[in-house]
Amino acid sequence: MLTQLRRDHANMARMLHVLQLKQKTLSTGERPNFQLVREVVDYILDYMEGFTLPLERICTERLQEKAPESGEVTEQLAKDYRGLRERLKRLSGDIDMILMDAIVPMDRFSDDLRAYLESHRAYLRDERELLFPLIQQHFDEQELLHFAELLPEGATAQLERLQEAYPELYAELREAPAPMA
């Protein structure tokens, strides 16, 4: 399961890289493909709802039972995660407005997108540096396998569906460099 989480982190880092490229386009005053931005944001929101939230719930509950001292870390990560979702939902609303040709200040949208990207990368780093070691320390392989059975399909299956549903986005993801470990 930890291997799957690391793979999911790598896939999310690629998604964030695609968004970063679009944000850089915006910051130069050019208009990126907002439909592609919509696809990435929708994918991330769906992934958060369908995979990350259930995983967080399962891990947090079991981790706090086994290691009550982990409460501070898991509570902070949960708070940070809620903040990420709210930022992403606001961006999603702005993208809707942009796609309907409403007036949305592009400099503000670009700044909001950059702030979201920085926050999401920090969250992934904190998970990798704070949560993953706790999981590795307090759960054996059998428990991790049990957790995996309780979760919805992982991101790998979602990426396969993404390839079919959004070929342009999938092509950009394949071109995105592999994230640093």
pLDDT in tens, 91-128: 999 999 999 999 999 999 999 999 999 999 999 999 99
- The burial class, CB within 10 Å (0-12 / 13-18 / 19+), for 79 is exposed
Of 180, 139, 177, 170, the closest CA to residue 55 belongs to 139
What is the model's pLDDT at position 181? 43
What is the model's pLDDT at position 116? 97
pTM for this structure? 0.84
What is the model's pLDDT at position 3? 76
Angle at 56 (CA atoms; ends 181, 117), nearest 5 degrees = 50
pLDDT in tens, 42-53: 888 888 877 777
CA dist 153 and 82 (Å) reads 22
What is the model's pLDDT at position 160? 64
In sequence order, the 6+-apart residues with CB closer than 8 A to the CB of 95 are 34, 37, 38, 41
Alpha helices (H) in 28-70, listed in sequence order: 34-47, 53-66
Ranges of residues in the chain with a pLDDT under 50 are 155, 181
What is the model's pLDDT at position 50? 75
